[in-house]
Copies of this chain bind each other. A is one copy, B any other.
């Protein structure tokens, strides 16, 4: 990385083809972002108590929620055990 000097030229079709290689990337990138946002949105949908709308918080709430679920599952499992075996 970081070549001292590189006499690069972009190449890309020398003649016409003004459509530039770049704008391809732009679109892809836009898509990636959209997808990511949708996912984030979906995540927000399955998590009950969202505190704030910002991305970081959404993920955080999701994490908390998962851990909560884990906890509950454990508790419930224990309860079953008791009911089953105990009597």
Contact = CB atoms under 8 A, between A and B. Distances in A.
Q: Please tell me how many copies of the chain the complex holds.
A: 2
Interface string A59-83: 1101101110110110011011001
A66 B47 contact: yes
Range of interface residues on A (Cβ < 8 Å): 20 to 34
A35 B56 contact: yes
Contacts of A59: 36, 39-40, 42-43, 59
Interface of A: 32, 35-36, 39-40, 42-43, 46-47, 55-56, 59-60, 62-63, 65-67, 69-70, 72-73, 76-77, 79-80, 83-84
Contacts of A63: 39, 42-43, 46
